[in-house]
Amino acid sequence: MAEAIAQEKQGSKQKKKLIRVDMTPMVDLGFLLITFFMFTTNFTKPNVMDLGLPAKGNPPSGPIVVDQRNQVTFILGKDNRVFYHQSNEQDLNSGNLKETDFSGVKISKIISEAYKKAPVPENFTVIIKPTDEANYKNFVDILDNIAISKKERYGITDIKPWEKKVYTELTK
């Protein structure tokens, strides 16, 4: 409880009168307000993306080979650079490894053009190969662009030595 002191004058003497203010209703009101705001507040929801994980069960026997015309490979490099190609080990050179940026329109266009040229569209696969210099934001951006282009088959793997060689030639 809180106390307040009021002074009354009676002639030449001052008489002190004790006034008590009950704070219990104020505390109850405070707890009611805290409870109200806790129940009505919208907490921020985490931004998550569904990743297409392999189905449970027996994995396919042996390595899965994807035809070069049935895939497009994105190599995520340093300084927010992204390169792409549709070549195999023998055909890849600095002329085939093209550079683009993380604009959603450009990457979606690259994916859709590669999909149109695919001989077996139901097996079309987007392959993502981040280098050691790539950052996490760029990886999420490329996954967002794949989701925008509505392609459900994609793979994430390490960059091959023959791709690394051509990549380092271009980034020097």
Where is pLDDT greater, at 94 or 33?
A: 33
Predicted TM-score (pTM) of this structure: 0.65
- What pLDDT was estimated at residue 107? 87
Number of separate domains in the chain: 2
Same domain, 26 and 103: no
Same domain, 33 and 75: no
Angstrom CA distances, 8 to 2, 67, 145, stand at 20, 99, 78
The CATH number covering residue 159 comes to 3.30.420
Same domain, 137 and 74: yes
Which residues neighbour 163 within 8 Å (Cβ) at sequence distance 6 or greater?
73, 75, 85, 92, 97, 129
End-to-end CA distance of the chain: 76
3 pLDDT tier (thresholds 50, 70, 90): low
Residue 46 lies in a domain: no
Same domain, 81 and 164: yes
Residue 118 lies in a domain: yes
Same domain, 81 and 20: no
- What pLDDT was estimated at residue 101? 81
Owner of token pair 């190969």: 129
Summarised one tens digit per residue, pLDDT across range 113-154 is 888 888 888 888 899 999 988 888 888 888 888 888 888 888
Same domain, 103 and 24: no
Residue 49 lies in a domain: no
Residue-number span of the structural domain to which 27 is assigned: 2-40
99 pLDDT tier (thresholds 50, 70, 90): confident
Same domain, 88 and 143: yes
Q: Which of 134, 117, 109 is nearest to 71 (CA)?
A: 117
